[in-house]
Amino acid sequence: MSARSDPIRARLSADAPQGPVVSALLVVAGAQAGLPVDRIDDAVMAAELLLGGRPAARTVGLSVRPGVVEVAVDDVEAGRLDAQRQMLEVLATAVETAGGSVRLRVEP
Amino acid sequence: MRAAAGDEAASRELVIQMRPLVSAMAARFAGRVPRSDLEQAGMVGVLHAARGFDPSHGTPFGGYAASFVMGEMLACVRQLASPVRVPRSVADDQRTVNRAIEELTMQQGRSPTPDELAAHTGLEADAVLEALRARVASTAVGLDEPGVEHPSTPDPALQEVERRLDLGARLDRLDARSRRAVVLRFGLELSQREIAERLGISQMHVSRLLRAAMAVLADDGEDEDAATT
């Protein structure tokens, strides 16, 4: 469930440009998975929603297989997830949560 | 004068008459932003000009409208042209890729994949990825930058969807067009292509509007969190 089980995993410090770093990785991951450009955009927007807000160190995991990109973010504040959940559920094919971890699956 | 008074048929006629002027002025910005966005901004300028035009002054409408058209196009360029400095070769590839996205979306009726973009443009896969990364970086721009003001008529159906969307006062922070894009995306769950068709703008423009809007909505979500803790 958490980012710790993903093949690509990064611990990003609180002062790192988390959104731009993860967005750049998601463009590559989305291309490898064969996602259309608008779904790559959706994945980027969803990740930025999770990574915004108060600066905090976070672990981000990425998993890619044909037609599927998964991005997991640990240490997401519960209130933040609640506020963004409706939009996340439109942007991502599936949204799973467990504790402070969120996993988004994006498909075409 | 009839267009200024809200006569829709007269407005349509005016837009048709002014199309050559708008198209010629859009050509000055060729390659910087999608031409369809420039022409639409130009038409907004024409309609703004019509509201304040007084033929008794003796100035031909075309000459009077030109400054309005140019103003709207400049605002459109400021809004859409990338503020992120990238190497010239990447900027060139980005323009090629942006055009290809629009062309393939129209041809296929869906958004293309990066592999399809590479095949269509003849660019290497890595160059397409670099262009897409630059595109993502350039769309991450706030709504407070200068933009085009678009007159908007309230749509009762969309207002109902808005009410169902649980975004509350956060929507009030958005301009009319961004608000509509958000409601269409998250309320009606339309794709970027479908929203582009509804709003008469490019998919790139929709992507940019949505990402800027999301930044506003995300920040407000944080504020709300803070207010409740």
Whether B225 contacts chain A with CB within 8 A: yes
DSSP 3-state assignment of A62?
A: strand
Name the domain count of chain A.
1
pLDDT at B6: 63
Give yes or no: residues B37 and B74 share one domain: yes
Return d(Cα A1, Cα B19) in angstroms, integer: 55
pLDDT at B15: 82
> From CA B214, how far away is CA A104, in angstroms rounded?
17
**Token pair recorded at residue B49:** 């000009």
Q: Identify whether B148 is part of a domain.
A: no
Interface test with A, best of B96, B111, B197 (most A CBs within 10 A): B111
Cβ neighbours around B61 below 10 Å, total = 18
Domain boundary residue, one of B71, B104, B139: B139
| Same domain flag for B220 and B175 | yes
Could you tell me if residue B126 is inside a domain? Answer: yes
Asked if residue B203 is part of any domain, the answer here is yes
Q: What local confidence, expressed as pLDDT, does residue A44 receive?
A: 93
Same domain (yes/no): B75, B94: no
CB-CB under 8 Å, B136 with A23: yes
A68: CATH: 3.30.565.10
Which is higher by pLDDT, A6 or B18? B18
Positions in chain B whose pLDDT score sits under 70: 1-6, 30-32, 78-86, 139-155, 219-229
For residue B192, what are the contacts with CB-CB under 8 A and spacing of at least 6?
Answer: A38, A41, B111, B185, B203, B206, B207, B210
Boundaries of domain holding B171: 156-228
Cα gap B15→A17, rounded to integer Å:
45
Among candidates A20, A27, A79 on the partner chain, residue whose Cβ is nearest the Cβ of B132? A27
Q: What angle do CA B4, B5, B8 make, to 5 degrees?
A: 85
Neighbours of B100 (CB within 10 A): 22
Q: Do A52 and B140 touch (CB under 8 A)?
A: no
Q: Any chain A CB within 8 A of the CB of B196?
A: no
Q: What is the CATH number of the domain that holds B17?
A: 1.10.1740.10
The domain boundary, picked from B80, B108, B129, lies at B80
8 Å CB contact of B132 and A52:
no
Largest CA distance in chain B: 63
Closest-CA distance of chain B to residue A14, Å:
16
The answer to whether position B144 is within a domain reads no
Q: Are B226 and A61 in contact (CB under 8 A)?
A: no
Cβ neighbours of B186 in A, within 8 Å: 86-87, 90
A76 contacts chain B (CB < 8 A): no
Number of domains in chain B: 3
Whether complex ipTM tops 0.85: yes
Question: Cβ–Cβ of A38/B113 closer than 8 Å?
Answer: no
In a domain, B65, yes or no: yes
CB B131 within 8 A of CB B123: yes
Question: CB–CB of A52/B217 below 8 Å?
Answer: no
Cβ of B111 within 8 Å of Cβ of A36? The answer is yes
Q: What CATH number does the domain containing B224 carry? A: 1.10.10.10
Q: Which of B80, B97, B122 is a domain's end point?
A: B80
Q: Which of residues 117-176 of B touch A (CB under 8 A)?
A: 117, 125, 128-129, 132-133, 136-137, 139-140, 165-167
Domain assignment of residue A89, given as a range = 3-106
pLDDT at B187: 86
Which amino acid does the sequence have at A63?
S
Ranges A5-9, A99-103, B217-221, most confident: A99-103
What span, in angstroms and rounded, lies between the C-alpha atoms of B34 and B66? 20
Residue B120: predicted pLDDT: 96
Instruction: Give whichever of A24-33, A50-59, B201-210 has the largest mean pLDDT.
Output: A24-33
pTM: 0.69
Note the pLDDT tens digit of each residue in B29-50: 766 677 787 888 888 888 878 8
Same domain, B178 and B203: yes
Is the model's pLDDT at A75 over the cut of 50? yes
Q: Do B130 and B160 share a domain, yes or no? A: no
